[in-house]
């Protein structure tokens, strides 16, 4: 069953590997489910059922004009869980933008069927800098991202966003050029409208009211060197707002720690799931 049809008729491409307790993996912006492949394979090998899907507008999924708000995106998650039969004893894991879907599912859908959650380099609880969120990202940064995408999306992703995503700088380069090329290719599979609309959604959605809905064991993993989603307004703030959560900080790790710290993240996920 490579595709699931959502309640509004959008086709979502689903990868369903292994058998056992389901773990649903939600990818970051502007990538797709393939970015979870190393973890998905390890989970399947360890006796879990790894389910990863391309968010609407991204990868091999349909690209409707509407539906890039988090209420709709969390409904898509519920539809994938229902269609795959992963509605019991499930763990939902969100990377970057995908953390918002986890948070909104816990509030909007009451965490139905979920026994554990994980937020990996996540945008939760609130990215935008405001008077009551001083550690957030200034609006000017989001404006620059939108301008770069509209002007030359391929160049922006390849030369600016993806290198920052993986912590590439003048001195250090923790990933290969081939990895940058691959991630850019995944990003370019998304439509222009979904790319812009989802950037608006994750940059401006306030998930602070959703935090009280986390009533299951929750793992939070974030890099202290994350320049894309800085840890103070995200990982550390989420840990303070989610009762009983476990925060694991990766010292110096960039945003794309699912690649730069792939083996460590896989071990931490398996340890958490084993609890």
- Whether residue 226 lies in the annotated active site: yes
Question: pTM to 2 decimals?
Answer: 0.97
Please name each of the domains of the chain with its CATH number. Answer: 3-274 (3.40.50.1820)
Catalytic residue among 34, 75, 226, 268: 226
Residue 1: per-residue pLDDT: 56
3-state secondary structure 178-222: HHHHHHHHHHHCCCHHHHHHHHHHHHHCCCHHHHHHCCCCEEEEE
Residue 223: per-residue pLDDT: 98
- Whether residue 255 lies in the annotated active site: yes
Q: Distance between the two ends of the chain, CA-based, in angstroms?
A: 30
Catalytic residue among 74, 96, 107, 122: 96
Please give the C-alpha separations between residue 151 and each of 137, 195, 247, in angstroms, as whole numbers.
22, 13, 38
Condensed to tens digits (0 to 9), the pLDDT of residues 144-169 reads: 999 999 999 999 999 999 999 999 98
**How big is the CA angle at 173 (ends 170 and 176), to the nearest 5 degrees?**
135
For the chain, which ranges sit under pLDDT 70? 1, 170
Please give the C-alpha separations between residue 260 and each of 24, 32, 38, 53, 247, in angstroms, as whole numbers.
21, 17, 12, 22, 19
- Whether residue 19 lies in the annotated active site: no
Catalytic residue among 27, 158, 222, 255: 255
């Amino acid at each position: 069953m490579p595709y699931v049809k959502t309640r509004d008729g959008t086709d979502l491409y689903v990868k369903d590997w292994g058998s056992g307790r389901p773990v649903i993996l939600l990818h970051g912006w502007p990538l797709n489910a393939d970015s979870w492949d190393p973890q998905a394979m390890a989970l399947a090998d360890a006796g879990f059922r790894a389910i990863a899907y391309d968010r609407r507008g991204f990868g091999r999924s349909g690209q409707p004009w509407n539906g890039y708000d988090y209420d709709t995106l969390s409904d898509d998650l519920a539809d994938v869980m229902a269609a795959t039969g992963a509605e019991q004893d499930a763990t939902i894991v969100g990377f970057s933008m995908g953390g918002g879907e986890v948070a909104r599912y816990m509030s909007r859908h009451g965490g139905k069927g979920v026994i554990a959650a994980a937020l990996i380099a996540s945008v939760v609880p609130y990215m935008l800098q405001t008077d009551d969120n001083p550690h957030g990202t200034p609006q000017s940064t989001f404006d620059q991202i939108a301008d770069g995408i509209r002007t030359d999306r391929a160049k922006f992703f390849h030369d600016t966003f993806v290198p920052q995503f993986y912590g590439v700088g003048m001195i250090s380069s923790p990933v290969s050029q081939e990895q940058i090329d691959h991630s850019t290719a995944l990003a370019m599979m998304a439509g222009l409208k979904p790319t812009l609309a989802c950037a608006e959604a994750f940059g401006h959605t306030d998930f602070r009211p959703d935090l009280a809905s986390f009533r299951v064991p929750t793992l939070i993993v974030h890099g202290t060197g994350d320049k894309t989603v800085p840890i103070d307004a995200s990982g550390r703030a989420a840990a303070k707002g989610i009762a009983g959560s476990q925060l694991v900080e990766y010292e110096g790790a960039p945003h794309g720690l699912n690649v730069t710290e792939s083996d460590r993240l896989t071990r931490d996920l398996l340890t958490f799931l084993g609890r």
